[in-house]
Amino acid sequence: MPERTIPVCFTREQAKALEEYARAKGMLNLSQAVEDILKRFEE
């Protein structure tokens, strides 16, 4: 996984949606959800 250096900000609603996504996919935290979503755009 490449090291990312750009900070990302989310609204509370967006963060909650990412947390729900992470939980549904069995991920441990929001960062993993963001990486998973970014990976889909790179394909």
| Residue 34 belongs to a domain | yes
- pLDDT tens digits, residue range 1-13? 567 778 889 999 9
| Residue 37 belongs to a domain | yes
Structural domain span for residue 38: 12-42
What total of structural domains would you count in the chain?
1
Query: For the whole prediction, is pTM greater than 0.85?
Result: no
| Residue 2 belongs to a domain | no
| Residue 19 belongs to a domain | yes
3-state class (DSSP) for residue 37: helix
- pLDDT tens digits, residue range 8-38? 899 999 999 999 999 999 999 888 999 999 8
| Residue 7 belongs to a domain | no
Q: In the numeric block, which tokens belong to residue 10?
A: 């989310």
| Residue 38 belongs to a domain | yes
Query: What is the chain's percent helix, strand, coil content, to nearest 5?
Result: 60, 0, 40
| Residue 27 belongs to a domain | yes
| Residue 32 belongs to a domain | yes
